[in-house]
Structure 1
Amino acid sequence: MQLYSFHTLVSTLIFLIYWLLIVATTLRIVFKRRPTTYVIAWMLIIYILPIVGIILYFAIGEAHLGQQRVKRAQQMRPTIAKFIQRLEDFPDIFTTKVSQVSKPIFQLCKHQTGLDGINGNHIELLSETDEIFDRLINDINQATSNIEMVFYIWNEGGRANEVENALIAATKRGVICRLMVDSAGSRHFIRTNASKRMRDAGIIIVEALKVNLLRFMFRRLDLRQHRKVAIIDNYISYTGSMNIVDPRFFKQNKHIGKWVDIMVRMNGPVTTLMGAIYASDWELETGKYLALPQITDFAEPPEDKKHIMQLIASGPGYTENMIHQVLLTAIYSAQEQIIFTTPYLVPSDDILHAVVTAAQRGVEVIIIVPKKNDSLMVKWASRAFFSELLDGGVKLYQFNDNLLHTKSVLIDNQLSLVGTVNLDMRSLWLNFEITTVIDDAEFANSLSILLQKYLSQSDPVNVSEWKKRPIWQHIIERLFYFFAPLL
């Protein structure tokens, strides 16, 4: 009888602890004030897979940066604030004379960062892989003081080896070279002879956000350093969708063709801000202070009305939801046309509704996605949004043959957003990302010509044909739609 009572007591305690865990986790999810679909998805996972669901949530459900990194981020804030104050000593760098469609975004940026539009920049759109490599390698060969890079993926082979050789040669000339690569995206490269050769030559290589199962209680495992940035001599900078990979050698076993990317090459005051973002990332990852770039090069009045820009950086430690806010503002500002390119289309409810609303108020909305995708889950989750977009009047196109990896938004042939941001939850809420906001009709025209080329290589998704797809596809789409807020 006593044994039975003891077992009953233990069972009751286990049951009570289990439900307390469920209730506590549920309240934690609700109080985070995330999108409704995100909350519902996690609650279903926790209730269907009780213990496993709770472990998964604390492993990948929140943007845990880790206590050490949080402390570093807090310590850096006064330094960044002083840097912004110093920038304000050079008022000619900034302007409020922006186009009508861009004005709401620049007002938002001013409120969030304290900076107006950055004036006097020279920007080039680079859309051919060889052209991108040629320009980057040439700039590395001309470097005299320092080179800073951060890339999600570095893959050995082809023209990536030429970048490696150029960096090694630069180091031999006395140029300081620093490279951050993401631990997950570049896991193969970190263990290759190429990485060893670069380290042996004196290149400082940092493995960002190391993947380690023992760390999952302290930092979210799938929080990634997704930026693609190169800075040369604090004067020239690059960003965009391309990693340091040669498409001829990268993921060819996936049978998705070659990756199609773009980069923007910039020089001017905006590179100073890019350098500050890199210095913040470096200190956040390594704990070592990296001197912020000097502003004296831009103390003279820059060329008037040449490529007005802003840089939007996101990730833990940065203004929360900033890129999401910028995208929403851009969509609601559009009056004539919006063209998106994204390899991964898993939008938030807010962006989905904004896009459909834009189409219904007469704006031509075009979204170009790849027909083939390297992520099976994302491919099917994306298709779950097609019906609502098509019914709302959005024009969907699927890019043929190769994987369209370009991440861009073009608004009214005037405002361009180009960077590392996908239209998915991971980019919008979690990863370290960066995007350029460019208010310039000349640059927009270059981007428009490229997007028309993409459209000529794409097939439109026909509404009536789409509705005739097999029932099994409906089922798979809805299944992966369930996981959409978690992708």
Structure 2
Amino acid sequence: MEGFYQALTLIGIGLYWMLVAGVTIRVVIKRRSVSVSLAWLMIIYILPIIGVIFYFLFGELNLGKKRAERAQAMFIPYKTWFLKLLDCNAHLPEKTPTHITHIDDLCTNRMGIPALCGNTLSLQDTPQKILKSIIDDIELAQHFIRMEFYIWNEGGQANGVVSALIRASQRGVRCQILLDAAGSGKFFSSSWCQMMENAGVEVVQALKVKPIRMFLRRLDLRQHRKIIVIDDAVAYTGSMNLVDPEYFKQDAGVGMWVDVMVRITGPTVNVLSAIHCWDWEVETGERSFPTAPECHIEQDNLLHPIQVVPSGPGMPENLIHQVLNISISRALKSVTITTPYFVPSEELLQTLRTTAQRGVKVELIIPKNNDSIMVGWASKAFYAELLSAGVVIHEFTGGLLHTKSVVIDEQYCLIGTVNLDVRSLWLNFEVTLVVDDAEFTKQLYWLQQTYMEQSTVVDETRWRERSLLHRFLERVFYLFSPIL
């Protein structure tokens, strides 16, 4: 009997060795950054069995067979629809300011999406203003409403949006609501969601995973876009989920979430509508292209050229990451960034350092207290390098600063759903706008200045004097930064 148990032990050790060796080989042969591979190898070796399970769940960009096949089949038809925008007189590369020409070229070549002029923009920076504006526009809807969010949380004015959608559906407006299955998990079981469905509102869970299929698709791929489109006439995007901050995560100890949204009219609305149609088809298989944009832009309305930049599984990889690097590296005077989660890729970190070292004023505004402990500590691991390069770091104390924005030379800006972390840049479904309009950019820059007024500047000398425990925690979480 003793020999039997010895043999069983040897077989178990052998099988485990083969499993770890196989996963190690798989990690090594995958094309990705060395830091990501090393982080996964560390997890696999430090946490026997559990590390291997984690890798199967979170280690590879696996959208799932059905969704991946749909996305592959969709790409050419959607790119063809986007390329038709090149014939719209809202696309005027010869008259578009040179600030975003390089971004226009990149997005047109990789995704087929050109920058379009003739838009109007409204920056909305308070939750009351944002939610009231959304409700007012829903009340005017006549044909359809398309919405997608990562988080939908009941309470306060968010319930007002639900009521407006129910009224819209009852008067014959088709309402298509796409919500991330994880981020909006509580909402799906709420009475408000049930009331919407009973009224004919189509509510679909994005990236839902059943326990039996959890090893067949990466669990932490999330639908992180925030898009509203009404009758292909009005659109919204930005950082705010469909929540009323006064009723959202009040016990998290980080204060109220601080967000912005952009209300848009003009040809860019149709592009955002197409992004929603893409996501809807990936999830449901139903195809419905948006209407073509109005292509009779008056010459005196050649304002606000906007480049829509989407990214996510099934789309050209790293597109937003490329746009960020290009924008920051070409800055001549200043770069001002707000982000709630700062865990940059090695390439983006070097771009920030190099930009500061050549004399450009680089300022980073991030929340002092973060709702993710791991991300909070990992972010601090980058402070020393950034401070030594001349980057000014502001820690926001007025709540959880959730605004995702970049202002370049106070001339043009990026604003949308993208955090400066690996998850947003490489994994999630995201969207950002590159806006080449001095007046809108000035408004956003002024808003960033109000954030700075509610922040404390990290002093480099004091930072060097932080405790050994502080340094140890930074390094521990830094090791996991490539996969946070």
TM-score, length basis structure 1: 0.95
> Partner of 1:320 in structure 2?
317
Q: Of 171, 180, 183, which aligns to 2:181?
A: 183
Q: Give yes or no for the alignment of 1:293 onto 2:283.
A: no
Are 1:272 and 2:295 an aligned pair?
Answer: no
> How many residue pairs align between the two structures?
484
* Higher mean displacement: 118-127 or 83-92: 83-92
Which residue, 421, 425, 432 being the options, matches 1:424? 421
Partner of 2:73: 75
Separation (CA, whole Å) in 1 of partners of 2:11 and 2:370: 48
Aligned AA for 2:85?
L
1:200 and 2:198 matched: yes
Matches within 5 A, 1:121-160: 121-160=119-158
CA distance in 2, matches of 1:379, 1:81: 38
Question: How many angstroms does 1:304 deviate by?
Answer: 4.2
1:340 alignment partner in structure 2: 337
Q: Give the aligned residue type for 1:176.
A: R
Contact between 2:155 and 2:244, CA under 8 Å: does it hold in 1? yes
Q: Which runs of 5+ in 2 are unaligned?
A: none
Contact in 2 for aligned 1:268/1:298 (Cα 8 Å): no
Name the counterpart of 2:383. 386
| Secondary structure at the counterpart of residue 217 of structure 1 | coil
Whole-angstrom CA distance in 1 between matches of 2:380 and 2:297: 51
* Residue 466 (structure 1) aligns with: 463
Instruction: Determine the structure 1 residue equivalent to 2:445.
Output: 448
In the alignment, does 2:392 pair up with 1:399?
no
Shift in Å at residue 440 of structure 1?
1.1
**Separation in structure 2 between the aligned mates of residue 316 and residue 351 of structure 1, nearest angstrom:** 20
Quickly say closer, same or farther: Cα 1:193–1:324, change in 2 above 3 A: same
Map 1:367-378 → 2, pairs under 5 A:
367-378=364-375
The question of whether the paired residues in 2 share the 8 Å contact of 1:93 and 1:301 is answered with no
The one-letter code sitting in structure 1 at the alignment partner of 2:160 is E
Query: For residue 167 of structure 2, what is the aligned residue in structure 1?
Result: 169
2:34 to 24, 33, 36: 36
Quick one: structure 1 residues 78 and 110, their matched pair in 2 at CA, closer, same or farther if it must change by over 3 Å? closer
The answer to whether the Cα contact below 8 Å between 1:35 and 1:348 also exists between their aligned partners in 2 is no
Check whether the contact 1:421–1:433 (CA below 8 A) recurs between aligned residues: yes
The AA in structure 1 aligned to 2:32 is R
Q: Superposed, which structure 2 residues align to 1:8-87 within 5 Å?
A: 13-87=11-85
Deviation of 1:247 (Å): 0.9
1:307 — aligned with what? 304
Secondary structure of the corresponding residue to residue 42 of structure 2: helix
CA distance in 1 between counterparts of 2:442 and 2:125 reads 14
**Which residue type is aligned with residue 455 of structure 2?**
S
Matches within 5 A, 1:250-261: 250-261=248-259
Cα distance in 1 for partners of 2:219, 2:299 equals 43
Residue 474 (structure 2) pairs with residue 483 (structure 1): no
Q: Which amino acid aligns with 1:135?
A: S
SS at match of 1:297: coil
Distance 1:8 1:161 in 2: 63
Give 1:66's aligned amino acid: G
> Matched residues in 2 for 1:314 and 1:85: separation?
17
Q: Deviations over 1:62-100 (max 9, x none)?
A: 121110101111221232133124323324434343334
Return the alpha-carbon distance in structure 2 between the equivalents of residues 384 and 276 of structure 1. 39
3-state SS of the aligned residue for 1:205? strand
| Paired residue type of 1:419 | G
Query: What are the superposed Cα offsets for residues 176-234 of structure 1, whole Å, 9 maximum, x if unpaired?
Result: 11111111111111101000111111110001111433222111111111111100001
2:62 aligns to what SS in structure 1? coil
Question: Using a 3 Å threshold, how does the CA distance of structure 1 residues 116 and 209 change in structure 2: closer, same or farther?
Answer: closer
TM-score, L = length of structure 2: 0.96
Contact 2:90 2:302 in 1 (8 A): no
Task: State the alpha-carbon separation in 1 of the partners of residues 448 and 340 from structure 2.
Answer: 14
Aligned residue type for 2:36:
Y
Question: Counterpart of 1:336 in structure 2: which amino acid?
Answer: K
**Which deviates the most, 448-457 or 464-473?**
464-473
Gaps spanning 5+ residues in structure 1: where? none
SS in 2 for 1:416: strand
- What is aligned with 1:355? 352
Letter of the structure 1 residue corresponding to residue 386 of structure 2: L
**How much has 1:453 moved relative to structure 2?**
0.8
Does the C-alpha gap of structure 1 residues 288 and 110 become closer, same or farther in structure 2, counting only changes over 3 Å? closer
Which residue does the alignment assign to 2:361? 364
Q: CA shift at 1:344, angstroms?
A: 0.6
CA-CA distance at 1:298 after TM superposition? 3.0
Paired with 1:58 and 1:94, the residues of 2 have a C-alpha distance of 47
Q: For residues 237-292 of structure 1, what are the alpha-carbon distances to aligned partners after superposition, in whole Å with 9 as ceiling and x for unaligned?
A: 10000011111111011121111000111111111111111111001011222x11
Give 2:282's aligned residue. Answer: 284
